[in-house]
């Protein structure tokens, strides 16, 4: 989605100095209000939207785009509700155009953000692929999580889950199966990636945090409160079992 012209033209929102003042004011406080639920939450639990070219609503995942912004709790159902209720127009105080496809666009952006983060983790040497190498990495104990292709065989996932349980006990690192093998191939620049281990390094933690954001966005239960993932190999646990993040105790 185009959010800024290649010639440097910024989004609607006034002069650069006025925009910077608004951005600073918007980020000074510790919480933001969701325009759908009217609840106040930490910024990392919501998604910011701004008014883009031609009055369209644009997702701002990194909360850095200029212009007036509004916030929606980071779940697809609530983004859908915001579109249906025309909450963006009220929040942005103008006739904002929010397409019915906006929830899917946000999902695609969150997914792309995850895969870009995985690619960076791989370049940092934090990703190990191949079933045997993953088993060895688990045995070493220095991992932050496991990554399975969503089309991986149940048997392979079961065996690695058993290895994870033997090493870490009941509270093992999270397992992620949010992405197809073809997506992992592109992100890692390798063929036939089915299983991978994430070393306990900052790049892996950044990737896992993005995965959790995507999993929460796709969840259907509004009662599930987003919680910070503890990614220490000794104490981490999965957070969203039915949405792609699985605790290490599962087989």
| Per-residue confidence band for 172, with pLDDT thresholds at 50, 70 and 90 | confident
- Tell me which residue of 60, 62, 49, 44 sits closest to 209, measured CA to CA: 44
Say whether pLDDT at 166 is over 50: yes
60 inside domain:
yes
Say yes or no: 95 and 112 in one domain: no
**pLDDT (tens digit per residue) in 154-165:** 999 999 999 999
Report pTM.
0.76
Give the count of beta carbons closer than 10 Å to the beta carbon of residue 99: 11
Say yes or no: 147 and 89 in one domain: no
Q: For the chain, what percent of residues have pLDDT higher than 90? A: 72
Last residue of a domain, one of 70, 100, 130: 100
Say yes or no: 51 and 21 in one domain: yes
pLDDT of residue 249: 35
Say yes or no: 149 and 190 in one domain: yes
Say yes or no: 116 and 75 in one domain: no
Say yes or no: 117 and 204 in one domain: yes
* CATH number for the domain harbouring residue 191: 3.30.1330.30
Q: Which residues of 192-227 are buried (b: 16+ CB within 10 A; e: fewer)?
A: ebbbbbbbbbebbbbbbebbbbbbbbbbeeeeeebe
Last residue of a domain, one of 100, 131, 165: 100
- Tell me which residue of 42, 45, 35, 37 sits closest to 68, measured CA to CA: 35
251 inside domain:
no
E strands within 159-203?
Answer: 175-179, 195-199
Say yes or no: 113 and 221 in one domain: yes
pLDDT of residue 35: 97
**pLDDT (tens digit per residue) in 183-201:** 999 999 999 999 999 999 9
Element (H, E) at 107: helix 102-123
Say yes or no: 116 and 238 in one domain: yes
| Per-residue confidence band for 3, with pLDDT thresholds at 50, 70 and 90 | very low
240 is in which domain, residue-wise?
106-246
**pLDDT (tens digit per residue) in 69-86:** 999 999 999 999 999 999
- Tally of structural domains, the chain: 2
45 inside domain:
yes
4 inside domain:
no
Query: Of residues 1 and 221, which shows the higher confidence score?
Result: 221
Last residue of a domain, one of 66, 100, 134: 100
Say whether pLDDT at 54 is over 60: yes
1 inside domain:
no
Say yes or no: 175 and 240 in one domain: yes
CA dist 77 and 68 (Å) reads: 23
CA dist 119 and 125 (Å) reads: 10
Q: How many CA atoms lie within 13 A of 29 on its CB side?
A: 9
95 inside domain:
yes
41 inside domain:
yes
Give the count of beta carbons closer than 10 Å to the beta carbon of residue 43: 15
161 inside domain:
yes
* CATH number for the domain harbouring residue 54: 3.30.1230.10
Say yes or no: 77 and 120 in one domain: no
Say yes or no: 30 and 128 in one domain: no
Q: For residue 102, report the phi and psi dihedrals to the nearest 5 degrees.
A: -55, -45
CA dist 89 and 219 (Å) reads: 26
Q: For residue 96, report the phi and psi dihedrals to the nearest 5 degrees.
A: -75, 140
| Per-residue confidence band for 15, with pLDDT thresholds at 50, 70 and 90 | very low
Say yes or no: 197 and 76 in one domain: no
């Amino acid at each position: 989605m185009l959010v800024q012209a290649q010639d440097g033209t910024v989004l609607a929102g006034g002069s650069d100095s006025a925009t910077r003042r608004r951005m600073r004011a918007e980020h000074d406080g510790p919480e933001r209000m969701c325009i759908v639920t009217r609840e106040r939450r930490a910024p990392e639990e919501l998604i910011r939207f701004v008014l883009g070219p031609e009055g369209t609503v644009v997702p701002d995942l990194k909360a850095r785009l200029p212009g007036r912004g509004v916030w929606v709790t980071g779940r697809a159902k609530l983004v859908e509700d915001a579109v249906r209720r025309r909450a963006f127009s009220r929040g942005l105080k103008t006739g904002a155009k929010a397409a019915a496809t906006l929830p899917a666009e946000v999902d695609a952006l969150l997914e792309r953000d995850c895969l870009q983060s995985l690619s960076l983790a791989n370049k940092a040497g934090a990703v190990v692929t191949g079933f045997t190498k993953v088993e060895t990495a688990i045995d070493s104990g220095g991992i932050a999580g496991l990554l399975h292709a969503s089309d991986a065989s149940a048997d392979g996932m079961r065996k690695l889950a058993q290895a994870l349980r033997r090493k870490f006990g009941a509270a093992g690192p999270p397992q992620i199966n949010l992405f197809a093998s073809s997506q992992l191939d592109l992100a890692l620049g390798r063929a036939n990636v089915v299983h991978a281990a994430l070393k306990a390094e900052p790049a892996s933690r950044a990737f896992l945090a993005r995965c959790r954001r995507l999993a929460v966005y796709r969840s259907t239960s509004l009662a599930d409160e987003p919680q910070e993932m503890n990614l220490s190999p000794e104490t981490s646990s999965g957070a969203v079992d039915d949405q792609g993040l699985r605790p290490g105790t599962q087989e």
